[in-house]
Amino acid sequence: MSQDWNQFVGGELGRLKSLNRRRSLRRILARESPLVEFQGRRLVNFSSNDYLGLSQHPAVKERSARAIARAGASASSSRLICGNSDLHEGLEAALARLKGKEAALTFASGFSANLGLLSSLVGPADHIFSDALNHGSIVDGCRLSRATAAVFRHSDLNHLEELLKDCSGPGRRLVVSDSVFSMEGDLADLPGLVSLCRRYECRLMLDEAHATGVLGSRGGGLVEYFQDRGAARPDEIELLMGTLSKALGSFGGFVACSGAVRDYLINKCRPFIFATALPPAVAGAALASLELIRPPSKVRERLLSNMRLMRNRLARNGLGCDQGRTSIFPVVLGSEDRALQVSQQLLDRGFLVAAIRPPSVPPGTSRLRITVTASHSAAQIDELVGCLTEISQQTES
């Protein structure tokens, strides 16, 4: 039996290697945003989701250390046993305020938050409508829910409306979308989604993982971004999921919702009930980050300035990136082999820019996923774009 198992594993790894899709772990020895130490070299990191550089901010590290000194390295239990603390409750209150919702609940990760929300709030008699480029955690959550799941073409609201019209029979309806799509960097059409949900009596769930801390006048995310323009309100979206591990520089996931939904999740959501609570250090760090993004926020101002600079530099050099409202700038190269080659050439020149390949993106769209942060200097951005332009011209000739 073990030999059969090893043959299966070896065969699958060989198949992935032949497709240039086999992955391995990179050992990062030191981080000093935006620099990392890898294989004995200091590289400028353009692959991090630490958009505001807050994981390295002195105030965030100090608050995290203070939480450990007071409460230890672990919560030591699930929230429902003896793991709940004032840190967790204070963090959830702050997240609810940021998102303009009545309540919030934290999870061990953003992935488990999506699994828990979808599997506990919808079931076999219900219907989910999911954007084709939603995060894998949403895909798995839809499967785990056992609801009837329909996938609409990416950001195609006409296709979504066709699916909603064709949906008949009893059961609740839930539309689910990323707010910022992690591999594209584009925004969901939130006003359009809200309009369709209202017309067809659906609920709406939004994954704000890559929007929280980045978009909106206070860093509240995509909902706030459109609210600032008079085009959306928090009460129009029942479930706002997010993470603490990206712009907030910590770890964990959360949902902002009504008080009744929070109470329901505490009683019915298995990834919450059966998971150890967030460590005190993580909660303390996230609380400090939430304070640092309040207006006027110097780190957010630096990020927005760098986003504009990256967009302008890429456009000026003809690298085909037509968005600049988020921190994510995809440069689509096509094949897995070309994406790996360009990524390695950038590594040789001192830049860490990961090659993204299927199944993270559709076949034929392998790319570099460049992420800009508040920690990057204008000179680093200029040098990266210059190197990328030169490499692209060489590989095309």
- pLDDT tens for 55-84 read 999 999 999 999 999 999 999 999 999 999
Predicted local confidence at residue 396, as pLDDT: 63
Task: Report, as an integer, the average pLDDT of 364-381.
Answer: 97
Q: Whose CA is closest to 88, among 100, 78, 101?
A: 78
Listed in order, strand segments (DSSP E) in 237-352 are 239-243, 253-257, 328-334, 351-352
Angle at 92 between CA 88 and CA 95, to 5 degrees: 140
For residue 280, count other CB atoms closer than 10 A to its CB: 24
DSSP assignment of 105-153 equals EEES-HHHHHHHHHHHH--TT-EEEEETT--HHHHHHHHHHT-EEEEEP
Task: Report, as an integer, the average pLDDT of 158-179.
Answer: 95
100 band by pLDDT with thresholds 50, 70 and 90: very high
Does the annotation mark 64 as catalytic? Answer: no
% of the chain with per-residue pLDDT over 90? 92
Candidates 64, 182, 250, 392; catalytic one: 182
375 band by pLDDT with thresholds 50, 70 and 90: very high
Is the confidence at residue 2, as pLDDT, over 70? no
341 band by pLDDT with thresholds 50, 70 and 90: very high
% of the chain with per-residue pLDDT over 70? 97
Candidates 57, 127, 135, 246; catalytic one: 246
Task: Report, as an integer, the average pLDDT of 226-234.
Answer: 94
Does the annotation mark 182 as catalytic? Answer: yes
Lowest mean pLDDT among 38-42, 147-151, 324-328: 324-328
Q: Strand 103-107: give its sheet, edge to edge.
A: 103-107, 253-257, 239-243, 203-207, 173-178, 127-131, 148-152
Angle at 144 between CA 139 and CA 147, to 5 degrees: 85
Task: Report, as an integer, the average pLDDT of 366-383.
Answer: 97
Predicted local confidence at residue 393, as pLDDT: 81
Is the confidence at residue 148, as pLDDT, over 90? yes
Is the confidence at residue 254, as pLDDT, over 60? yes
Q: Work out the mean pLDDT of the chain and round it to a whole number.
A: 95
Angle at 172 between CA 168 and CA 176, to 5 degrees: 100
85 band by pLDDT with thresholds 50, 70 and 90: very high
Is the confidence at residue 321, as pLDDT, over 80? no
Question: How far is 144 from 152, CA to CA, in rounded Å?
Answer: 19
Question: How far is 229 from 317, CA to CA, in rounded Å?
Answer: 31
Task: Report, as an integer, the average pLDDT of 330-335.
Answer: 94
CATH number of 58-292: 3.40.640.10
1 band by pLDDT with thresholds 50, 70 and 90: low
Question: What is 21-52+298-396's CATH number, 1.10.15.40, 3.90.1150.10, 2.40.10.10, 3.40.140.10?
Answer: 3.90.1150.10
Q: Whose CA is closest to 297, among 372, 218, 244?
A: 218
Which residue's entry shows tokens 């603490």? 244
CA 367, 373, 375, 376 torsion-angle sign: positive
Q: Where are the domains positioned within the chain? A: 21-52+298-396, 58-292
Task: Report, as an integer, the average pLDDT of 134-147.
Answer: 97
Specify the 3-state DSSP secondary structure of 54: helix
Is the confidence at residue 323, as pLDDT, over 60? yes
Candidates 210, 327, 343, 375; catalytic one: 210
Instruction: Assess whether the previous peptide bond of 191 is cis (omega < 30° from 0).
Output: no
Token pair recorded at residue 209 = 């993982």
Task: Report, as an integer, the average pLDDT of 77-106.
Answer: 98
Does the annotation mark 127 as catalytic? Answer: no
Is the confidence at residue 397, as pLDDT, over 60? no
The answer to whether 177 touches 134, Cβ cutoff 8 Å, is yes
Predicted local confidence at residue 324, as pLDDT: 66
pLDDT tens for each residue of 11-35: 999 999 999 999 999 999 888 889 9
Question: How far is 293 from 57, CA to CA, in rounded Å?
Answer: 12
